[in-house]
Structure 1
Amino acid sequence: MNRRNFIQSGALLGGGLLVSFTIPVANKLAALVTPVGEGSFMPNAFLKIGTDNSITVYLSHVEMGQGVWTTLPMLLADELDADLDKIKIEHAGPGKAYNHTVYGIQITGGSTSTWSEFDRYRNAGATARILLTQAASRRAGVAITACRTEKGYVIAGNQQFTYGELATEAGKLPVPEKVTLKPPSDWRYIGKGSKRVDSLVKTNGQAKFGIDMQFPGLLTAVVAHAPVFGGKVKSFDASKAKAVPGVRQVVQIPTGIAVIADHFWAAQQGRKALQITWDHGPGAMLNTAAQTKEYKKLAETKGLPAQEKGDADAALNKSAKVLSGEYVFSYLAHAAMEPLNCTVKIDGDRCEIWTGTQMPGIDQVNAANVLGFKPEQIKLNIPFLGGGFGRRATPGSDFVVEAVHIAKASGKPIKMVWTREDDMKAGYYRPFFVHNVKVGLDKKGLPVAWLHNIVGQSIMGEAKIFGPPPKIDNTSVEGVKDSPYLQTVPDHYVGLHTTKELVPILWFRSVGNTHTAYAMETMLDELAHSAGEDPVDYRVKLFKDHPRHLAALNLVADKGNWKKELPAGRFKGIAIHESFGSYVAVMAEVSISNGSVRVHKVDCAIDCGLPVNPDGVKAQMESGIIFGLTMALYGELTIKDGQLQQNNFYDYRIARMNECPEINVHIVESNEKMGGAGECGVPPTAPAIANAIFAATGTRIYNLPIVNHKLIQKA
């Protein structure tokens, strides 16, 4: 579809002005998915201005709590000269027009939503503003220079027109190839902060999430999944399940046995009554203890080189002192507050789906494949997502495909609901990892040799969506490879052993940084104490050529009063990490009581370049810190005989409100390249807490979670 046809298609949406826009693909990563030639363009988001003065912004990224429902319209509103609180916002459905400019597919992830759309949404607003101004100029018979826009109006000489009055005329004008954007001095919203547009409906109960879907004739389905990873149904007896009042059907699908009923309670009781014989297969051999032992042994050997300089082994042998650490990171569950769900209605050669998804285009294609349809025969509606953290971005569209199979097999419109236990035991996980680190120091206590081997599954290799499996999965080594610390080490080696397991894995909030930041920042703390230096001062030395790291570190040390002595029984730790283009330093203050830790206060500083919505950035830092706190204190999934041992929040604990520390977020004033905010607050939180625990106890924690350790405060 070209620009002209797309503009003309506005007639299908009612009278008014419909603006699409294109932007050159500027990032080489797009070529991983979609072949992009020189000078090619990737169309994306658009807006609609109706003759009734309505302004609708269609989001190419989904709102799952991170704030894009507010941030992206802010960009457009500034250039359009419209009031943000008068803009209607909708999720765009699947379509190539909404493909990500970096990834080349329709996806929300990688903390990219704001910076990837910064130019495109402003261009969309500016394009509409220019067309409206031209229309006003013609109608009023005045020069274009005599026209200006102001909060939804065009002032043309001594006349004034609403955008709606001009929409039809503006829609007939040729779209300018290039527009001039407003200077920062004219921004009303960008950089100023704005309350979230979706707050009201999410607090008064009006917001609709996938699990809220309901319409006449809709049935509820639940699925009995294999208790062992990789298990299959050998046989089943549904007679007792069908005898449960309200149960309508029981059908077998590729992932298990689905029970379909009038409502959730009946479906759940029917599932409990099922009699299933499972073929557990080789997955029954998987045990956490054996996996840990195997990974530790593998980590003692060199993996494939992810980064190498000089001779790390020889340099270690010549070092004045060698420190080592063996780190173990368990599988983790995403545990979003809204469990997975998907509503499917098949009507002849058409299918309509309602689900919270981070990959609507991929889900549309996968659903079509199940039904033997073309993608355009699938209408996919996207409500709000009750959290995602990567779990709603599965390349195989596992929960969507499962729901489509149920609807196809039953012939009924169904809402498939996963319980919290389903979500915990039959989902996808942050991979299990082991790090083996050896660092050689010179006589001044500075690192001169670094040998770092990592063992774990490859997310990118198993996703199979960005081309062939890579030999080195960057998500396994990010945060170690290209670390600013290693750039100062003349002899270093980062090796990777990629393993294969039946446990399904997926990107998790901040992906590989969840474990690499912990290994690096706790080891750095260990180096500083070995050298007899203050942990901040030691890092400052290593960051002399890294101004953005330094800016975040110095700001948090200043605002958090790092040098100030704490009251008796309080201890502090610090960590800093760059991820998703942003630089975050975290300072944690803890105490130890009855063998456990209490985190009282966290100060955080972030350099994310221009903060489009500073309020949103602060909210995401708070969110990431609490997420990281949960991961540090309690995050652990264990497997015995192929079965996941954790079930729900009672045995997969998350931080409670009474455990939340005081959090202070400080934003570095920066003109540097914009980064993300959704994930970068997670990585430095756990190591900052662990470093504070060391200050309190003299004990290093190499294996998370902290709850597994009996902590004893130093005398």
Structure 2
Amino acid sequence: MTISRRSFIKGGAIFGGGLAIGFNLSGCAQTEYPHFSATDLQPNAYIQVSPSGQVILQLYKSEMGQGVYTGMATMAAEELNMDPSLIIVQHAEFYPDFRDPEFYVMITGGSSSIKYGYTILREAAATVAAMLKTAAAQYLSIAESALNLKDGKVVYAGGEVDFATLLPIARGLATPTEVTLKSPQDFQYIGRHRQRLDALGKVTGKSEFGIDVQYPGAMTAVLLRCPHFGGKVSSFDASNALKMSGVKSVFEVDGAVAVLAETYWQARQAAGVVSVVWDKGPLAGVSSESLRVERHGMLTSEAGKNVEEKGEASAATGELFEAVYDVPYLAHATMEPMNAVAVATKEGIEIWTGNQSPDIALSEIADATGFKREQIRIHNHMLGGGFGRRIMPDYLVEAARIAQLSGKPVRLVWSREDDMRGDFYRPNATVAMSAMIDQSAVTSLQAKIVAPSILGGFVQFVTNTLLPQWLPKGLHKKIGGMASGSDPAAAEGIAHSDYEFPYMRTDYVEQKTTIPLGYWRSVGHSQNGFFIESFIDELAHQTTQDPVAFRLAHMAKDSRRRQVLELAAAKANWGNPPQGQFQGVAVHESFSTVVAQVVNVSIADGKIKVHKVVCAVECGMVINSDIVVAQMEGGIVFALTAALKGEITIEDGAVQQSNFHDYEVLRINETPEIEVYRVDSANAPTGVGEPGVPPLAPALANAVFAATGQRLRKLPLRLA
């Protein structure tokens, strides 16, 4: 049986043993807005107008560079008919209305912010606009049809009246149950406004990130964690550390050792002289190589679970062609390492940080500290990169526990080494791709995926958030264990592809042993795009067909990917690269957005040189065209880093990499020329934060094959 994250969370899941688990999501009591003001016009949780006439937007999605700050303000501004720069944007605290309709918790992920916010925010803003027009009609004693909104005022033939003047009347009105939204043909800002609202604050240093937060009297905390996953402290000697300047205390906290000092440098230096004996835990002796060997064995020893089967197996005629691909663990490596400020009192805990899922964090902090969710507040800030890493609540829990045990305000800051070795990683994975080829016709496409499950570890956080707090913690882990074998991320991008062959089948085998896993930019598509688009290219070669023509021949006539691929090929002058360069292509749909990329490479001194990437994207209606381009460019650079350099290796249950000298990122001089083109669409907008990533690695690998004749089936790409 195939399930999506949404169907699992919404309706529960039915597993092989017949156990059904359901969640009642409609019984959550509505509480007062955390940003409630008795003097504001506040008909919904999203938009409010202050007595001074300022329009305030609650940014309920985390801004981590992907542009939701600007995108969401633009959508609200459209219905209020005001320049987006006039809207005050505030980072929202948790409120039930802010829960994501796919994950059912308040979270930023899955490239869903603009997709789901498009209607919600416009309706919220249109409601405010309707109430202000009604108030103005009463105030001026004229018909509403004679009124319009413009930049924070209601205007009419005889003049204008500002929002502040109308507020006393508007606050006494009933909230309309229905509102009329603007027609796209009347848009003034959506698709037309190109300014990035948070850019000036970021380049001038005025924007506040989690790591910028200062709290009076706060101690800085450094945490020594066991380098072996699942391990914990056995004993420690802090006598030398306690003699150092500025050090206040050293103590054990939940299997780790906390060092508190007046400054970060003092705490970090003192942590370096604490002598710790570690219990290595359950993954002692495990290596990334041993896990790879195990996966390869499981390709033949395990049947796995069928994810998708289309057509009749009897249609698969001809000779078997197969290839095995591998990808490694990857770190998120955000520029801003994990951090949080925590203040604990007898009444509760308050946190300042940058996080992608404050809803999940509230429940995890509550469990760890014994407080109720209602006694905990999380103030969100800008994120210096997220990519899925900041969905996890671990660093918030650490800060809360250190503050609780020390009795002091605490500012916890991870080092780059902490961040690299304490991540929740993109899974390693192996896939056997196979096809039957009958003369020049491909009659089947099959995939057998062996990989650990992200969902198995993550779903316990979701159930812990949705289900009553009094339930035993172990229950959530059991639910996760039962869900792991049906992880939709493991096969997404291979299963349910719109490629057409007479027989198609995808199976998934779960590898149980793994280090901590998390959602990484584009999730399962990041590896599955590489697998399927590399193999499709191999099939084109096996049947002596042009790679673009082969793909088009096996797509439905109405496939969204067709137009995107054709645009990318045309703009890249496919088949006619500059002398000495070679081209590769890939096209992939993820998060309802289609992206095609053509990569130009050359080979010199045994090294891959990427000269140019031409990218075409179809993401529905565009809110801000510059942000679409920037996200495609950023996704390409992010993916190039992973394809050429990214690899986390494990020895004895511990990560071997520590910083950017051994987990490299792409340098400016290695960055190719990038061109981005859009396929215009009148459909509702979809996401752009992640879909630029999946096509890059296969397009690059396919270009390397064109240049060298070598099929590189393992990431990162390394020539023989």
TM-score by length of 2: 0.91
Tell me how far 1:473 sits from its aligned partner: 0.9
1:280 aligns with 2:280: yes
Q: Distance between the aligned counterparts of 1:10 and 1:630, measured in 2? A: 40
Tell me how far 1:127 sits from its aligned partner: 0.9
Residue pair 1:238, 1:274 contacting (<8 A) in 2 also: yes
Note closer, same or farther for the CA distance 1:7–1:122 as it changes in structure 2 (3 Å cut): farther
The counterpart of 2:554, out of the listed 535, 539, 542, is 542
Q: Distance between the aligned counterparts of 1:83 and 1:559, measured in 2? A: 34
5 Å-filtered alignment, 1:291-690, equals 291-301=291-301, 302-309=303-310, 312=313, 318-319=317-318, 321-394=319-392, 397-444=393-440, 446-464=441-459, 465-466=461-462, 468=479, 469-470=482-483, 471-485=485-499, 488-563=500-575, 565-690=576-701
Tell me how far 1:593 sits from its aligned partner: 0.9
Q: Which moved more, 1:465-474 or 1:452-461?
A: 465-474
Tell me how far 1:311 sits from its aligned partner: 6.0
Q: Which moved more, 1:648-657 or 1:149-158?
A: 149-158
Tell me how far 1:502 sits from its aligned partner: 4.5
1:49 aligns with 2:49: yes
Q: Distance between the aligned counterparts of 2:312 and 2:35, measured in 1? A: 67
Which SS does the other structure have where 1:259 is aligned?
strand
Q: Distance between the aligned counterparts of 1:571 and 1:247, measured in 2? A: 58
The aligned counterpart of 2:471 is none
Structure 2 stretches lacking a partner, 5+ long: 1-25, 464-478
Which SS does the other structure have where 2:443 is aligned?
strand
The aligned counterpart of 1:31 is none
Q: Distance between the aligned counterparts of 2:32 and 2:358, measured in 1? A: 25
Supply the AA of the counterpart residue of 1:405. Answer: R
The aligned counterpart of 2:267 is 267
Note closer, same or farther for the CA distance 1:523–1:251 as it changes in structure 2 (3 Å cut): same
The runs of 4+ residues in structure 1 deviating greater than 3 Å are 5-12, 309-312, 465-469
The aligned counterpart of 1:88 is 88
Which SS does the other structure have where 1:74 is aligned?
helix
CA displacement, residues 299-327 of structure 1 (integer Å, 9 cap, x when unaligned): 23432111124565x666x41x3321111
The aligned counterpart of 2:19 is none
Residue pair 1:436, 1:454 contacting (<8 A) in 2 also: yes
Supply the AA of the counterpart residue of 1:260. Answer: L
Q: Distance between the aligned counterparts of 1:151 and 1:509, measured in 2? A: 37
The aligned counterpart of 2:64 is 64
Tell me how far 1:129 sits from its aligned partner: 1.0
Q: Distance between the aligned counterparts of 1:532 and 1:435, measured in 2? A: 24
Residue pair 1:46, 1:124 contacting (<8 A) in 2 also: yes
The aligned counterpart of 2:39 is 15
Q: Distance between the aligned counterparts of 1:466 and 1:545, measured in 2? A: 40
Q: Distance between the aligned counterparts of 1:8 and 1:140, measured in 2? A: 33
Tell me how far 1:617 sits from its aligned partner: 1.0
Tell me how far 1:596 sits from its aligned partner: 0.9
Residue pair 1:10, 1:16 contacting (<8 A) in 2 also: no
Tell me how far 1:675 sits from its aligned partner: 2.0
Quick one: percent identity of the two aligned structures?
39
5 Å-filtered alignment, 1:20-31, equals 20=44
The aligned counterpart of 1:697 is 708
Supply the AA of the counterpart residue of 2:443. Answer: V
Residue pair 1:191, 1:614 contacting (<8 A) in 2 also: yes
Tell me how far 1:14 sits from its aligned partner: 5.5
Which SS does the other structure have where 2:389 is aligned?
coil
Supply the AA of the counterpart residue of 1:419. Answer: S
| Count of residues in correspondence between the two structures | 673
Tell me how far 1:683 sits from its aligned partner: 0.2
Supply the AA of the counterpart residue of 1:479. Answer: G
Q: Distance between the aligned counterparts of 1:9 and 1:454, measured in 2? A: 45
TM-score by length of 1: 0.91
Supply the AA of the counterpart residue of 1:678. Answer: G
Note closer, same or farther for the CA distance 1:527–1:8 as it changes in structure 2 (3 Å cut): closer
Note closer, same or farther for the CA distance 1:690–1:684 as it changes in structure 2 (3 Å cut): same
Residue pair 2:623, 2:685 contacting (<8 A) in 1 also: no
Residue pair 2:429, 2:449 contacting (<8 A) in 1 also: yes
Tell me how far 1:102 sits from its aligned partner: 2.5
Residue pair 1:308, 1:492 contacting (<8 A) in 2 also: yes
Which SS does the other structure have where 1:18 is aligned?
coil
Supply the AA of the counterpart residue of 1:695. Answer: A
Which SS does the other structure have where 1:617 is aligned?
helix
Q: Which moved more, 1:51-60 or 1:422-431?
A: 51-60
Residue pair 1:17, 1:50 contacting (<8 A) in 2 also: yes
The aligned counterpart of 1:211 is 211
Q: Distance between the aligned counterparts of 2:670 and 2:548, measured in 1? A: 26
Supply the AA of the counterpart residue of 1:385. Answer: L
Tell me how far 1:672 sits from its aligned partner: 3.4
Supply the AA of the counterpart residue of 1:305. Answer: N
Residue pair 1:255, 1:402 contacting (<8 A) in 2 also: no
Q: Distance between the aligned counterparts of 1:673 and 1:390, measured in 2? A: 24
Supply the AA of the counterpart residue of 2:362. Answer: Q
Tell me how far 1:55 sits from its aligned partner: 1.4
Q: Which moved more, 1:221-230 or 1:295-304?
A: 295-304
Q: Distance between the aligned counterparts of 1:542 and 1:310, measured in 2? A: 15
